[in-house]
Structure 1
Amino acid sequence: MTFAKFAILPFALASLAACGSDTTDETQTTEAQLDRIEDQAEQSAIAAGTAEAALGLTEAQLLDAELVTADGTELGDVERVSRDASGAVTELLIEIEDSNPDRYVVIPIDGLTVRGAGDDADLQTGMTMQDLAALPDVVLAP
């Protein structure tokens, strides 16, 4: 799936629950899903070009950003940008830092501020790691 400039794709698509008991198969499936998400995000950023997406950043800059606390502690990485029907960025899919297995949550763009500039920009939140951990997991499509 490729994001068009005004496309909206739901994050919670389907379960990652293993179809069988083979952990290797489950890991390979998860890696394939993550590769697909990264490819979709890259294509979306290319389609959006240099236009400001949100917070004074392009979509590519948002995708390169890390989610950090006020003191700079990394909470996670932006994996995908979600837009509403009008094309406004509404949410970000975040991979929680050091989660094992990897955990993904959605956070609203509201309340985030930019820390740094350009390609070195991070997104600062008032949330803590505990706040992120308390959010429901996003289940990625198989």
Structure 2
Amino acid sequence: MKLPKPILLSIVGATALTAACGETPAEQQADTMDDQIEMEADRSAVAAGTDEAALGMTEAQLLDADLVTADGTDLGDVALVRRDDNGTVTGLVIELEDTHPDRWVEIPMDGLTLRGNATDGDVQTSMSAADLAALPDADMSAVNNTTM
């Protein structure tokens, strides 16, 4: 997919700005990936519309949610919603809290619940920060292919 020129220029500009701020190449790459993920998430949420995606939430509401433990400890942010060929939500890509450079993992929907309400709730898991850290990195090749 070819990006409109203003979006492409903003990615290039953001990458140049982070380079000027003394970030390592790994941090620069993570920042670029973060920008690509946000664009893909926005595109996907618009395409999904206001239909319920999972846990009583729309895709946009899921993308605004944090992943938290039962006691409310923030484990990360929902970055992407993964769907199968039928459009059913199968998992969430989570940007893990306090990782430098940024790191994303994919978790299945099994065992996830809504904490709070759909309008401003979070996604609750029984996984710990250590459990999430032990997961492999999420496959982000689809994001790279759709946004570049």
The answer to whether TM tops 0.5 is yes
Alignment correspondent of 2:108: 108
The structure having more radius of gyration, on CA atoms, is 2
Aligned partner of 1:86 in structure 2 is 86
Superposed counterparts of 1:37-76, under 5 Å: 37-76=37-76
Report if the CA contact (8 A) 1:38-1:79 is conserved: yes
CA contact (8 A) 2:56 2:118 kept: no
Higher helix content, 1 or 2: 2
- Does the alignment pair 1:123 with 2:123? yes
Give the CA deviation at 1:118: 2.9
Instruction: State the Cα distance separating 1:25 from its structure 2 match.
Output: 4.1
CA deviation map 1:53-80 (0-9, x unaligned): 0111000000001000000001110000
**Matched letter for residue 32 of structure 2:** A
Residue ranges of structure 1 left out of the alignment (5+ in a row): 2-21
Query: What displacement does 1:41 show?
Result: 0.4
Q: Comparing 131-140 with 55-64, which one deviates more in the overlay?
A: 131-140
Q: Deviations over 1:26-63 (max 9, x none)?
A: 43333122101101101110111110001110000000
TM-score, scaled relative to structure 1: 0.78
CA distance in 2, matches of 1:77, 1:54: 16
Q: CA deviation at 1:139?
A: 5.3
How far apart, CA to CA, are the structure 2 residues paired with 1:59 and 1:106? 16
Q: Which amino acid in the other structure matches residue 50 of structure 1?
A: T
Contact 1:90/1:108, CA 8 A, preserved across alignment: yes
Give the match's secondary structure for 1:94: strand
Other structure's SS at 2:77 match? strand
Q: Which runs of 4+ in 1 moved over 2 A?
A: 22-30, 138-142
**Counterparts of 1:130 and 1:26, CA distance in 2:** 22
- Conserved 8 A contact 2:65-2:122: yes
Q: Is the 8 A contact 1:93 1:105 kept in 2?
A: yes
SS in 2 for 1:79: strand
How high is the sequence identity, in percent, across the aligned residues?
59
SS of residue paired to 2:119: helix
Which stretches in structure 2 are left out of the alignment for 5+ residues?
2-21
